[in-house]
Amino acid sequence: MADEKQKIQQPQPRQYLVDSEQLKDMMKYLMTRPYGEVFSLMNQISQLKPFNPGGDKDVGKKWYQ
């Protein structure tokens, strides 16, 4: 019975592509809400990594000299 539970695989979480304008709109909305309600969600959004199909490093980062 215990072996059976280990063999059951959990479904993979869905992944979504969100463009920068949608992300900006979400953050704008969340900034209008009380801090305690949105702090953890805003933190998670701020840690999202840019989609990188080619495997190049530093995609989406702007470098200024």
Confidence of residue 14 (pLDDT cuts 50, 70, 90): confident
Using the predicted structure, report yes or no on whether residue 7 has a pLDDT greater than 80.
no
DSSP state letter for 33: S
Residue 37 lies in a domain: yes
Residue with tokens 């809400």, as numbered in its chain: 33
Does a structural domain hold residue 2? no
Q: Residue 26 in contact with residue 19, Cβ under 8 Å? A: no
* Count of the separate structural domains present in the chain: 1
Confidence of residue 63 (pLDDT cuts 50, 70, 90): very low
* pLDDT tops 80 at residue 27: yes
Query: Is residue 33 domain-resident?
Result: yes
Domain that holds residue 27: 17-49
Establish if 56 belongs to a structural domain. no
Which residues are within 8 A (CB) of 41 and not within 5 positions of it... i.e. 6 or more apart? 30
CA count, 13 A, side-chain hemisphere, 55: 0
